[in-house]
Each structure stands twice: as C-alpha cells, then as structure tokens.
Amino acid sequence: MQQRNKLLVAAAFLAPAIIAVIFLRIWPATSALHESLLAPGETTYSLENYAYIFSDPVFLRSLQVTLVFLVVVAPLQIVIALALALLVNAAIPFVGLWRAIILLPVAIPQSVSAVVWGVAFRPDGPVNAVLIAMGLEPMRFLTSAEQAMGSIIVIVSWIGVGYWMTFILAGLQDIPKSLYEAVRIDGANRFQQFWYVTLPQLRRPLTFVLVANTVANFLVFAPVQILTSGGPQGSTNLIMNEIYTRAFVSGDRSSAMAATVVLVTAVLAVVLVQFRMMRSPEDKGI
C-alpha cells in the first residue's frame, strides 16, 4: 500500500515532465525514424532513403564538413578556454569583471551574433579595416570558399569560449594548493607544475568540456543559415543546415528524416558519455 501510494505521488509530480519528454523528444525521434524508413510513395519499410543520402555527394560533403569542423573547433575552443581560465584564475584587480566580460557573448542570441559578425566581415567592414591598418591585404571572409568556414569558427568561438572557460575555471579552483607546494619543493618550474599537476587534475573537467562542446557544435545552425546558407560551394554546409535545406528548401522530407536520424544517433552517443560524466562518483551506483 505504502509502495503504491508513493508510486502514485511520484507519477503525479512527474507526469508533466514525462509527457514533455515523450512529446518533445521521444515522439519526434521515433517519427523521424519511421518516416526515414519509408521511401517516398512507399508504405513498407526499407533503407532506400539512407542508401540515397549516403550516395548523395551533397550529403556526404556535409558530413565531411561537419566532422572537420568538429575536429578543428573542439580542440581550438578548449585550448583557448584553458588559456583564458589559467589567465583569470588569479587575484588580479576586478577579476570578476574580466571574467564576466569574456562570458558575455554566450548570453547573446546566436542569430544576433551572426548578424553583427556578418556586418563586421563585410569587404568594407571593420575587420578588414583593422587588417589594412596593420598593413595586411583585405580578406573575403564569408564569400570565399577557403575562408568562410574559418570565419564561422571565429564567430562560434567568440560566442562559446567564455562558457567553456567557466567549467575549466571551476576545475582549476578545485585543485588542492598542497599539490603545487609538493612539486615546488621538488624544484618544479612553472611549466612542470602545469604539466604534472594542473593538467592531470583537470582531466575530468576537460573531458566534460570536450564532450559538451561537441554536442553544442553538432547543432551550429544560425550563423550558417543567416550568413552563408552553407556556401560558398558547400564549404560551410554543416549538418543542421543540410537537414533544414532538405526539409524546407528542397522539400525532400524523406531524406531530411534519414539525415535527422543520423544526426540524433551521433548526438545521442555523445550525450550518453556526457551524462555519465555529470554524475558524481557516489551516484555511480544507479
């Protein structure tokens, strides 16, 4: 009776959230899987849509662009975030203010950041003005197939590194001072202190940032859709933009659903790792 009563109470508290999970995650994921297995005009399941997208050079190029983007952007952002965290992890005047300023861009909607950087990257815009003032050649940025992805990476990194810095900073502040004292007595210089104490102690926050950063960057959409629409020549066609284009520009729903399933599967794999890391060791039993 007691057990049943508890179950009912728990169900009452959980009902809205469970309905939300089903309606907002499980149902759309299932319906994407269902539709992805139905070739256009067919009523029986087949892998035709998958065969189609995996032989479509546009989709394959988008996968390649996304993977290269992830491989570049994650280490880049983590190294910058780590450097910034090391820099602001000290008793300097107004340190809270400097940290807050570096964190600010993450608060701004990505579409706003995209629009603003789009103007900044114009051929006659301020970024080129700075390059010219430094005696360099002006660049084409978003209109060049070679530079467009680099420009997108600058934008998303300006937005994100302060956020990732926050995790690493918290990790740095958890490192016991005694560890540094111990190696200092052994005569370790600053680099050795960093290499033998800081980095090993940061293993957990750094891994977490790597995982969470990968999830976030899988979904980069607003800067691409607003600034390049995936171009020039598909050079910035990240997978989220590819799915959007298939579903709403070309109106090819079946292949958009297949691409969605590919994306959700990849993201789910990374999210499972992230979830394992979020739980503290004493939680591990469950």
Partner 1 sequence: MNNNATMVRTSLTVLCAILFALPLWWVAVSALRPENDIFRYLSPLSWGTLLPLNFTLEHVVELWSGPFRLAIMNSIIVTTVTILVGLAICSAAAFALAIIDFPGRNIVFIVMVVSFLIPFDAIAVPLYQTMRNLNLQNTYTGLVLPGIGNGLAVFLLRQFFLGIPKELREAAMIDGMGWFGVFWRIYLPLSVPALISAALILFVFQWQAYLWPLLIAPAPDYKVAAVAIAQFSTQYDVNYALIFAAALFISLIPMVILTGFQRGFSASVASTGGKE
Cβ 213 to partner 1 shortest distance, Å: 11
Phi, psi of 236 (to 5 degrees): -120, 20
The DSSP bridge partners found for residue 38 are 45
Reading the block at residue 149, the tokens are: 């992805």
Reading the block at residue 196, the tokens are: 């033998």
Nearer to partner 1, 57 or 284 (CB): 284
Cβ 115 to partner 1 shortest distance, Å: 4
Instruction: Pick left, alpha or beta for residue 9 (phi over 0 → left; psi -120 to 50 → alpha; otherwise beta).
Output: alpha
Cα separation, 43 vs 279, whole angstroms: 43
Burial of residue 267, with CB atoms counted within 10 A of its CB: 0-12 exposed, 13-18 middle, 19 or more buried: middle
Nearer to partner 1, 146 or 265 (CB): 265
Reported as type and span, the H/E element at residue 170 is helix 148-173
Nearer to partner 1, 146 or 167 (CB): 167
Nearer to partner 1, 11 or 146 (CB): 11
Longest dimension (CA), the chain: 81
Cβ 196 to partner 1 shortest distance, Å: 18
Nearer to partner 1, 13 or 45 (CB): 13
Nearer to partner 1, 146 or 249 (CB): 249
Cα separation, 156 vs 105, whole angstroms: 10
Calculate the dihedral angle through the C-alpha atoms of 110, 21, 269, 227, rounding to the nearest 10 degrees.
-20
Cβ 157 to partner 1 shortest distance, Å: 11
Cβ 10 to partner 1 shortest distance, Å: 4
Neighbour count for residue 158 (Cβ, 10 Å): 15
Q: Of the candidates 207, 210, 176, 181, which has an alpha carbon nearest to the alpha carbon of residue 193?
A: 181
Cβ 28 to partner 1 shortest distance, Å: 4
- At position 83, the amino acid (one-letter code) is A
Altogether, the residues listed in the chain come to a count of 286
Cβ 57 to partner 1 shortest distance, Å: 22
Nearer to partner 1, 96 or 187 (CB): 96
Cβ 241 to partner 1 shortest distance, Å: 10
Nearer to partner 1, 183 or 215 (CB): 215
Structural contact between residues 119 and 125, judged by C-beta atoms closer than 8 angstroms: yes
